[in-house]
Structure 1
Amino acid sequence: MEIIKEKANKILSRKNLSFNDITLVAVTKTVDTEKINKAIELGITNIGENKVQEIQSKYEQINNKVKWHMIGHLQSNKVKYIIDKVEMIHSLDRMSLAEEIQKRAEEFNVYVNSLVQVNIAEEDSKFGLRKEEVIPFIESISNFNRIRIKGLMTIAPYAEDPEEVRYVFKDLRELFEEIKELNLDNIDMKYLSMGMTNDYEVALEEGANIIRIGTGIFGKRIY
C-alpha cells in the first residue's frame, strides 16, 4: 500500500496533484473479510468487487465501513441485488443494462453513479463498448434520470511492459476529453477508471484518477 502511494505521488507531483486527488479502489476478489477489515484499518476506503455474489456476502459483514464499487461484468438480472449498496458501477456497457439500472433505481429510490466501460483494445475476451460506440451510447442514455454517468473505465490487455498498453490509456483519456466538450445533459466526465497493479503508473501518467489495485495490496491470489 505504501509503495503504491509513494510511486503514485511521484507521478502525481509532476501534475501538481497528490495521492489524495485520486481514488484507490482495492480489488477484493476472493479476499476474505478478515483481510479486508485489516486493509480498512490501514486506510482503505473504497473496495471493488467483480461479482455480485461477493458484494452481497461481504456487505453483510463489512457494510458501510467502505464505499463499494462494482467493477466486473454486471448481468442485468443481478442489478437489483446491489443497486442500493454500491457507490459506483464501473461496467455499464449496453442499453439493456442501462434500462435495468434505471428501472431498479426508481424502485429503490436511488441515483446510480456509473462509468461506461470501453474496450479500447477491442479484445474478444473483454466486455465494453468499442471506442466509436461510446458517444452514441452516452447520448442515448443521457435522459435516464436515475443514472449519473461520471466517466469512463477500461481494462488494458496484460503486458509485461506497461509501455505497450500506454495507447489504451491515452485513447481513453482523449475520448473522455471529447465527451466532456459535448456538454451533454446528465453526463459529468469526472472519473477515468484505468490502471491496475501491473500498469497503474502508466495509467496515472495518462490521466487516470481511479486506479483498481488487487495484487499490489493483497498479494497474488490462486483461483
Structure 2
Amino acid sequence: MTSNSLYPQAETIEQLRQNIDAVRQRIDQACTKAGRDPLEVRLLPVSKTHPAQYLRQAYAAGCRMFGENKVQEAYQKWQELDDLDNLKWCVIGHLQTNKAKYVARFASEFHALDSLRLAQALNQRLEIENRDLDVLIQINTSGEKSKYGIAPEQAAKLITQLEAFPRLHIRGLMTLAINSDDTEQVRSCFIKLRELRDQLKKIAPPKMQLTELSMGMSGDFELAIEEGATIVRIGQAIFGTREQPDSYYWPK
C-alpha cells in the first residue's frame, strides 16, 4: 500500500529508539484490534541502503537482527559488524544460486526461497559451512510479473520436495503485497498467504513447522497483522525514507 507521507531520517540513537518504540506501539494496537497477542508478531528491521556505521547506532537502539535485500551488501556489513554480540542477519531479497555461498556463510534466516534449484544450492553450501538455515518460501500472491516468488499453486509440490534438504528448516511463507492504495487488494494478498499456509500444513512433512507468515512493510503492516502476520519487515518507519527507489532493491 502506498503512502504520501515521507518518513524523516533518524539520525541519532535516540531518534532510532523512538521510531522503534512507535512501530512497536502500532504493532500492539494492530494486535489488539485483531484480538492477537503482540508477542506473536516479530519486528524485523530492514536496513537496506544504510551503511554499517549507521547500523551500529541501530544496534545501540536495540536492534539485534537486520533484514537485507542484496546479499553481497549484507555480507559486507556482516564482516564490518562482526564485533557486535548476538547480531543476526536475515536475507529477504531474491537470490541467485551462484550467491548461495554468501547466505550459507552468515545468514540466520532466508525469506525468499523460490525454487528447488536454489534449495539444492543452499543445502550444499550449508553442508560445507556446517550450518543450518531457517527458511521461508516466497509466494507471489499478487500475480504480478514484476515480483519474485512462486505461484501459490506451485507451493504444495515444492514443500514435499524440500524434505530432501536437512540443512534447510522451512518455517513458513513470505509475500510482498500489491503496491496499491486499494486496501482490499492489499489485504487479499495477506489472506491468500495465510490460507495457503493453512492448506500446506495439512500435507507438510511431519518435522516441517509452517508457523511463520512474513508479510507487511511500513505502509501496510497493520493490515498484515490483522490477517495473521508473524513477522513484519519494517524499514522506512524506523530508519527514514530511502534515497534509492524500491525498484533498486525489488528489481523487475
| TM-score exceeds 0.5 | yes
Asked if 1:4 corresponds to 2:62, the answer is no
Aligned residue type for 2:112? S
From 182, 192, 198, the equivalent of 2:213 is: 192
From 152, 167, 182, the equivalent of 2:173 is: 152
Q: Which residue of 1 aligns with 2:81?
A: 62
Q: Which residue of 1 aligns with 2:35?
A: 15
Moved more, 63-72 or 168-177: 63-72
Q: Is the 8 A contact 1:24 1:210 kept in 2?
A: yes
* C-alpha RMSD of the superposition: 1.4
**Could you tell me how far 1:16 is from its partner in structure 2?**
4.1
Q: Which residue of 1 aligns with 2:159?
A: 138
| d(CA) in 1 for partners of 2:58, 2:41 | 18
| d(CA) in 2 for partners of 1:131, 1:79 | 24
Asked if 1:37 corresponds to 2:51, the answer is no
Q: Which residue of 2 aligns with 1:207?
A: 228
| d(CA) in 2 for partners of 1:45, 1:220 | 21
Aligned length: 222
| d(CA) in 1 for partners of 2:173, 2:89 | 17
Q: Which runs of 4+ in 1 moved over 6 A?
A: none
Q: Which runs of 5+ in 1 are unaligned?
A: none
From 11, 29, 46, the equivalent of 2:65 is: 46
Moved more, 9-18 or 89-98: 9-18
Higher relative contact order (CA 8 A, sep 6+): 2
- TM normalised by structure 2 equals 0.84
- 38 and 163 in structure 1: CA distance in 2 versus 1, 3 angstrom threshold: farther
- TM normalised by structure 1 equals 0.94
From 97, 100, 105, the equivalent of 1:76 is: 97
**Could you tell me how far 1:161 is from its partner in structure 2?**
4.3
- 81 and 202 in structure 1: CA distance in 2 versus 1, 3 angstrom threshold: same
Which structure has greater strand proportion? 1
| d(CA) in 2 for partners of 1:16, 1:72 | 28
